[in-house]
């Protein structure tokens, strides 16, 4: 037997194994990035150790650390996008859908603050983030089409809203000691001032 054989060998040629191992690597990287809140502190060696493989094995799936970070963030962004889409689809009117989309995004961030910091502060390119902006623009446009918001350039309004939401979420993570109001209250002010929506009626979910 070759002395270089790993002590706990995997079966790279088994059907479906390669994809499972890739997912294990991504899951380990996501956990570490959430804890570290800084992708530059991520070690490929540490990720490999967490998955019980050699560092060389990571390179079978990701060319370098940046590639692993980008793939991990895309996986996480897809999870956040699905949460927002599901919340949007569950509402009966465009205004409620846009509000639910933003609150779902905020809830995901509350559960994964470190990942959100990496998603918006990393120097690694993440063009997939444009999908969320496109969906938000469409949601704003539906509000305008329904007469629930003043007519205008939906993309410009969505960009203003995106700037406000990302800035506010990032500040809550980086400066938790400030006297932050409940997130739904602040989101409603953004929606009223930037989109022109009427404040939601008080009821289930209205207070956070």
Mean pLDDT of all residues in 23-49: 96
**Considering the chain, what is the average pLDDT of its residues?**
90
* Cα–Cα distance measured from residue 207 to residue 203, given in angstroms and rounded to the nearest whole number: 8
pLDDT recorded at residue 200: 80
12 vs 49: which has the higher pLDDT:
49
3-class state of residue 14 by DSSP = coil
In CATH terms, is domain 17-195 a member of 1.10.357.10?
yes
Helix extents (H) in the chain: 17-36, 44-51, 55-58, 65-89, 94-111, 113-121, 130-145, 154-174, 183-190
CB 98 within 8 A of CB 137: no
- pLDDT exceeds cutoff 80 at 113: yes
Question: What pLDDT, in 10s, does the model give residues 129-177?
Answer: 999 999 999 999 999 999 999 999 999 999 999 999 999 999 999 999 9
pLDDT recorded at residue 106: 95
Question: What are phi and psi for residue 127, nearest 5 degrees?
Answer: -65, -20
């Amino acid at each position: 037997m070759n002395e270089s054989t790993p002590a706990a060998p995997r079966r790279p040629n088994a059907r479906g194994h390669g994809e499972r191992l890739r997912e294990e690597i991504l899951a380990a990287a996501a956990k570490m990035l959430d804890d570290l809140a800084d992708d530059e502190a991520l070690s490929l060696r540490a990720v490999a150790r967490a998955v019980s493989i050699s560092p060389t094995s990571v390179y079978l799936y990701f060319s370098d650390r940046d590639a692993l970070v980008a793939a991990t963030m895309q996986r996480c962004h897809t999870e956040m996008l699905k949460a927002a889409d599901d919340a949007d689809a569950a509402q009966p009117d465009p205004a409620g859908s846009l509000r639910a989309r933003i609150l779902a995004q905020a809830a995901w961030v509350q559960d994964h603050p470190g990942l959100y910091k990496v998603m918006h502060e990393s120097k690694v390119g993440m063009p997939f983030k444009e999908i969320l902006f496109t969906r938000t623009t469409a949601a704003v446009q539906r509000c305008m089409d329904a007469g629930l918001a003043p007519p205008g350039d939906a993309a410009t309004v969505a960009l203003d809203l995106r700037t406000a939401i990302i800035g506010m979420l990032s500040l809550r993570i980086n400066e938790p000691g400030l006297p932050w109001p409940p997130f739904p209250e602040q989101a409603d002010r953004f929606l009223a001032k930037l989109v022109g929506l009427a404040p939601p009626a008080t009821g289930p979910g209205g207070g956070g």
